Structure formats: C-alpha cells, structure tokens
Amino acid sequence: MVQELLFISTPNTTFMKNKINVLLILLATLFIAGCHKDVPEPYPVPEPINAKTIFVYMPWSASRTSEDNSLYSNFLQNINDIKDAITTGKGLGRNKLMVFIATSANTALLMEVKYTDKGECKQDTLQKFNSSNMPAYTTVNGLSSLLSTVKTKAPAESYALIVGCHGTGWLYKEGVSRAQTRYFGGTEHFYQTNISTLAAAISQSKMHMQFVMFDDCYMSNIEVAYEMRQATDYLIGCCSEIMAYGMPYRLIWKHLAQAKPNYQEVVNEFHRFYSNYTYPYGNIGITDCSKVDEVIGLMRTINAATSGAYAAPNWVDIQRLDGYQHTIFFDMGDYVNKLCNTPSTQHLALDMQTALNRLVPYKSCTPFIYTALREISNNTIQVNNYSGITISDPTVSAFENASTTKKATGWWKATH
C-alpha cells in the first residue's frame, strides 16, 4: 500500500515541479524584458579632462625680409629638449602639450606633442598656417583666437603658457633688435607684441594661466608684472639677456609639468645649468602676481614721500641689469634703497624689501651677467644687488624713447 502511494505521488510531484519551473522562467523572462524596456542603456563614461594644457608659443623672431637673428633653430632645439624630458619622465600624465611655431615669416604650424606606447614622443600637426590664414597674433583678437583654438583642441583644468622669442620687457613695439638674444617678437615691429596685448588676449580667451614663462630677454620687470597680474598666477622670466639657447627645458620641464609646479627647483636647475654653461651667465626671477597690488600701493607711498625723484646724474649708482649705454632696466630693490635714503624714508625701503621678497619668492643670479648689445665697454656686468625684478622709473635713456614712454605704462600711472 505504501509502495503504491509512493508510486502514484512521484509523477504528480515531478509534474508540479516542472510546471513551477516553467512558470518561474516565464516570470523571469517577463521581468527582464520589462527591465530592459524601462531602464535606458547606461551612458558611456566620459574620459577625464586633461589636468593641464601647456602651450608653447614661438612666433616669428626675425623680419619680413630677412632671417638675421632668427631663433628658429634654437626653438627646434627647445622642442627637442622638452620631448627628451617627456621621454625621460615616461609621458605627459594627464597633461597636454600644444606648440605653435612660426617656420618662416609667412608660415606656421600648430602641433600637439604626444607620448606613444612605444615610449617616444611624436608631434601631430593640427593646423597649418600661411599668408592666407595666419592669425594676426600681434593683435588682441588674433592672439585670442589662437589661444581659443588651443583651448578647444586641448581643454583642461588649468593652462600654462611658454613664450619663446626675443624680448625687450615693457618697451613698446616699433623697436629694433641688435643681438641674437631673446625678446617678445621679431626684429621689426611687424612681428612684435605689446605686453598689454598679450594680457588682454588671455583675458578675452578666458584662459587664465597658472604660469606664463617668457623665454625672452628683459621680461622680469615690474612693468610687465603689472600688466600680467590678472592674466596669470606666476610670471617667470629673466631680468637681463638670456642666451639664445634659452631655458634648460630638459632639466626644468618635470618641475613645470607638475600639477603644482616646483618653482624653487626651476630656479635651482636654471642656476646650475647656466653656472656651468659655455657662457656662465644667467639670472631668473619668478613673480607671484597676487602680490603685485601690495607693491603698487607701497611704491605710490614711496614716490609721494620722495617726490619720486632720484636725481638723474645719480642713476649710474643703481645696479644695472642691462647692456644699454644708458640703463633702462635697474634692479628694483637697489633703486628703492637708494631712493629712500633719508632717516624719514628708510623704513619704507625696509617695507619694500619685505614686499619684494614676497613678490619674487624664487630667484637666482650668477655673479656676472652677459650682454650682446655692444653698447658698453664690457660684455659682462657684475651683479652686487639682485631682487629678481627690475624697474625703469629712473631711466633717462632715449632708446625707444624710454624716458618718455615709461610714463605711459600702467605701472607708472598707478604709482605716480
């Protein structure tokens, strides 16, 4: 009897289990189908934005009709040195590197430098320029359009700018170059750019810079810092002439490429390199642009207390940092110390020294600096006082009408 019951119940149980399994499968299918219908496909995960885009800007450095004093070959060496540094560091990380280089008076390239899986750098040409489509890069709109193109092709959390060319500090365009050192533009005004133009272009393109490094002569001066104070956090440049070789990129690149650049190491590497260079001359100053306004206010007070007059015959006593016959670029700290030469103003000189140490926290200078201008009896100048930044307030030079045009600078107007 028991056996019969077991025999009878077994097939019924199996049948019921099969029905339940089928029902569960149907329900699961309907559930999955319903989920598939109601829940959209997941969006593709966006790639992380670049941490920093560094833009190396190398405009034409000669004239429309001549390649005399062109720095083009030096620019190529600079790019190769940067690529070597990237290869040594095994890549760019989350950074992008964009390069604009004028290959002649009427042609230029916009390139991206990349690090490949093979462990080497290559450069992709993104755009070619000729006389028909060359941006008017000595104007605000032209330079801004170029910066905006870089921003579109390589958007990032932050931006930095390296300018390679000749340089004459704050002096207005229309000037001439007589030496194969560096300044901001070519050897004729057609290829020269005012500092105020650069600052306005950066603002217009909405690309506030983490740093702007001028690989040019005479660019670490208070007049330039004044114009650039709202365009960049830090300003890197030389108080006097820098050799045509330029910045030692192979050594300093890794310190500039960090999310937060190691400015002290940039200065250290620069000093070590030029102390042992064929021509062992060089100086550098890195300005914290957030401290410019403090110096403006203090200089205004000093000028009011001293009538802003350091007698013209005495300008030769101030530390010169240029090779012009009549000095244009004076060490700022030494100038203020000599300007505040009475008991009632000496405290102002001390205040300015403190302010200048905050303004230019990173700086170095070899015992002598070099000039290729051939306007003074020696090619070298001894440096006894160095604050990392120059000033042109006391100049009486007629070169480029400096004694007059200095009064047209924003710095002069803000402090006199």
pLDDT at position 166, please?
75
Question: Above 50 in pLDDT, residue 378?
Answer: yes
Dist. CA 394–CA 312, nearest whole Å: 7
First to last CA, the chain: 121
Dist. CA 377–CA 46, nearest whole Å: 63
**Average pLDDT in the chain:** 86
pLDDT at position 60, please?
80
pLDDT at position 10, please?
44
For residue 314, name the pLDDT band (cuts at 50, 70, 90). low
Dihedral pair phi/psi, residue 289, rounded to 5°: -70, -15
Among 62, 77, 55, 331, which residue's Cα sits nearest to residue 198?
55
Please name the residues in contact with 194: beta carbons below 8 A apart, sequence gap of 6 or more: 172, 173
Dist. CA 174–CA 186, nearest whole Å: 10
pLDDT at position 171, please?
62
In this predicted model, what pLDDT tens digit does every residue of 233-285 receive, in sequence order?
999 999 999 988 999 999 999 999 999 999 999 999 999 999 999 999 999 99
pLDDT > 70 in the chain, percent? 81
- Residue ranges of alpha helices (H) inside 241-345 are 249-256, 263-275, 292-306, 332-339
- Amino acid making up residue 189: H
- Amino acid making up residue 32: I
Mean pLDDT of the 145-154 span: 97
In this predicted model, what pLDDT tens digit does every residue of 19-50 receive, in sequence order?
555 555 555 554 444 444 444 555 565 667 89
Specify the pTM: 0.85
Give how far the C-alpha of residue 276 lies from the chain's centroid of Cα atoms, to the nearest Å.
25
Q: Which domains does the chain have, with CATH numbers?
A: 50-290 (3.40.50.11970), 294-359+368-415 (no CATH)
For residue 311, name the pLDDT band (cuts at 50, 70, 90). low
Answer for the pair 232, 244: CB distance below 8 angstroms, yes or no. Answer: no
Q: What is the DSSP string of 91-106?
A: S-TTEEEEEEEE-SSS
Please name the residues in contact with 84: beta carbons below 8 A apart, sequence gap of 6 or more: 250
Dist. CA 135–CA 153, nearest whole Å: 16
Dist. CA 319–CA 322, nearest whole Å: 9
